[in-house]
Amino acid sequence: ERPIEALERALLETQAQRDRVSAAESVVHWFKCDIRITDNKGLYLASAEAEKHRIPLICMYLISPQDFEAHLTAPVRVDFILRNLRVLKHDLAQLKIPLHVEVVDKRRSIPSRLMELCNIWGAKHVFCNIEYEVDELRRETALVRACSGQGISFSAIADRCVVEPGRLTNSSGAPLRVYSPWHRRWCAYLNQHPSELDPFPVPKMNPANTGDTYPDLFRCEIPQAPRSKWLSEQDRAKFSVMWPAGEHEARDRLSRFLQERADEYQNARNIPSANGTSVLSPHLAAGTLAARTVVREAREASPNQKLTDDRKQGHSRWIGELAFRDFYTSILCYWPYICMNKPLKLEYSNIEWEDNMDHFKKWTDGRTGFPIVDAAMRQLAHTGYMHNRCRMMAASFLAKDLLIDWRMGEKWFMEHLIDGDFASNNGGWGFSASCGADPQPYFRIFNPLLQSDKFDAQGDYIRKWVPELADIQDRKGIHDPYGQGYARVAETNGYPKPMVDHQQSRERALLRYKAGLGRS
């Protein structure tokens, strides 16, 4: 039984008992990756339950440093989450709804603390939105049963995706793992069920005396992100300007993108220097914006009345990219072994990787000698974000040119991305290393010089992130300084020579992949 099916079964088996749970003193909504009050299904249902019984809604967010560590959450992402919580706390307080934020002690588990808090607050109904990683699904399954044993109704709601995982199957009812046919079904499903895009109302105002009943909950402070080697005071100040937090900011960014840039998305999306994408991924990952809101508003702003897989029209193309998020979540649900370090295409489990930490370090430091790859890795280090085209180039370079296990790159990305999301990151790495949800065989190997020439034609992105090369104005020289007569400039400024020969690396990768497949 898959973890998602175990959770569904637990919810079904406890349904009758949960329906019988009587009202108590309060209803709880447990926030996780859904830090918003707008268009939040779990929060809306919790609020409706509280209103039905005329009792207050209490919200909580439990911070588990161990979970952050286990999930490799980047310090920049932790900081962003905590800043989002501050905005959320303020917005909820306007509705007289308290947000209790607590760092859960290492010796305690989240489930035991959650049940303890329910007892303290006299809560018999708990709501949360589902997270689809295996550990989270197992934790919630156990919680449904443990709460039910204590007379508490625990409801886990599907809200992360626009189309819930499991809805789209092939003609024999099996889940799909090829994007194009899946996407056609995704569009058709939403065209047939337009109400799936309807927004969920914001929660109702709590009873007027809630502040007197729970004064401490309104007073509690949201902690600062713990200091780490990487997130200094300076970085924290930098990121708060670079990545303004909160759902208002997220919705403003969405409106600006739809008004100003979505029309041109299909042309600009692959140009890293062009500001052609929405840069909404940090908000979608933190849940300050619902994917449903994004698709609804994009469709309303689009000249197409229906969702289509038209790749030439900006809005459709953009909605199609957003659908990848649902697609990879669906893959995670139906092939959960990808959470256990296994490639989706299991036949790619036996590739012999190079165990070269010196090469890995050059890649992480942005000193490979391939300017486009180095620019990408430095953008990540400086901002916690990397453009999608550059993610593909950097990932392909690690897995194919350096033949370093793609899982090391996947981990590095998670540890540094502000938008780190297991399903999307794993999907992107699987695609780039040819062992994920991609019908193409392994012989598609990006040539970093050609990619650079094509997608950063004027070299603007390279000049921004690799200052050692900023003075090279030559159209060809900027992509390949040592090969195109700019060795002296590069050398003088301390820029390294290419660490590998791409043609030779390509041949080596083809042989290794072939041999790996032969062993499986």
- The binding site for ligand FAD (CB under 6 A) comprises 269, 277-281, 284-285, 321-322, 324-325, 328, 388, 391-392, 395, 413, 417, 419-421, 424-425, 427-429, 432
Helical H runs in 26-130? 41-53, 65-70, 75-94, 110-121
Residues 103, 104, 106, 111, Cα dihedral to 10°: -160
Crossing angle of the two packed helices 247-260 and 75-94, in degrees rounded to 10: 100
- The residue among 388 and 484 lying less far from ligand FAD, judged by its C-beta, is 388
- The residue among 29 and 416 lying less far from ligand FAD, judged by its C-beta, is 416
- The residue among 427 and 448 lying less far from ligand FAD, judged by its C-beta, is 427
In whole angstroms, the minimum distance from the beta carbon of 95 to ligand FAD comes to: 28
In whole angstroms, the minimum distance from the beta carbon of 471 to ligand FAD comes to: 29
- The residue among 44 and 324 lying less far from ligand FAD, judged by its C-beta, is 324
The amino acid at residue 106 is K
From the number of C-beta atoms within 10 Å of its C-beta (0-12, 13-18, 19+), residue 503 rates as exposed
Residues 6+ apart with CB under 8 A from 344: 177, 331, 335, 338, 430, 435, 436, 437
- The residue among 270 and 505 lying less far from ligand FAD, judged by its C-beta, is 270
- Phi, psi dihedrals of residue 286, rounded to the nearest 5°: -80, -15
- The residue among 410 and 480 lying less far from ligand FAD, judged by its C-beta, is 410
Helix H or strand E segment including 102: strand 99-103
How many CB atoms are closer than 10 A to CB 90? Answer: 11
- The residue among 203 and 420 lying less far from ligand FAD, judged by its C-beta, is 420
Residue with the CB atom nearest ligand FAD in the bound state: 428
SS3 content of the chain, % helix, strand, coil (to 5): 55, 5, 40
In whole angstroms, the minimum distance from the beta carbon of 391 to ligand FAD comes to: 4
From the number of C-beta atoms within 10 Å of its C-beta (0-12, 13-18, 19+), residue 1 rates as exposed
How many CB atoms are closer than 10 A to CB 266? Answer: 19
In whole angstroms, the minimum distance from the beta carbon of 258 to ligand FAD comes to: 11
Q: Which residues pair with 123 in a beta bridge?
A: 26
In whole angstroms, the minimum distance from the beta carbon of 328 to ligand FAD comes to: 5
The amino acid at residue 382 is H
In whole angstroms, the minimum distance from the beta carbon of 386 to ligand FAD comes to: 7
- The residue among 91 and 419 lying less far from ligand FAD, judged by its C-beta, is 419
In whole angstroms, the minimum distance from the beta carbon of 298 to ligand FAD comes to: 9
Q: Could you write out the DSSP letters of every residue in 118-165?
A: HHHHTEEEEEEE---SHHHHHHHHHHHHHHHHTT-EEEEE--SSSS-T
In whole angstroms, the minimum distance from the beta carbon of 311 to ligand FAD comes to: 13
- DSSP code for 246: S
In whole angstroms, the minimum distance from the beta carbon of 91 to ligand FAD comes to: 22
In whole angstroms, the minimum distance from the beta carbon of 74 to ligand FAD comes to: 10
- The residue among 39 and 419 lying less far from ligand FAD, judged by its C-beta, is 419
- Phi, psi dihedrals of residue 73, rounded to the nearest 5°: -65, 130
Q: Which residues pair with 296 in a beta bridge?
A: none
The amino acid at residue 143 is L
Helical H runs in 198-280? 210-213, 215-219, 233-242, 247-260, 265-268
In whole angstroms, the minimum distance from the beta carbon of 275 to ligand FAD comes to: 9
CA distance 375 to 325: 25
The half-sphere exposure of 508 on its side-chain side, counting CA atoms within 13 A, is 16
Q: Which of 329, 334, 306 is nearest to 197 (CA)?
A: 306
- The residue among 26 and 266 lying less far from ligand FAD, judged by its C-beta, is 266
Q: List residues forming the annotated binding site for FAD.
A: 265, 277-281, 318, 321-328, 419-421
Q: Which of 297, 260, 296 is nearest to 278 (CA)?
A: 260
Q: List residues forming the annotated binding site.
A: 265, 277-281, 318, 321-328, 419-421
**First CA to last CA distance, the chain:** 25
Residues composing the chain: 520
- The residue among 155 and 379 lying less far from ligand FAD, judged by its C-beta, is 379
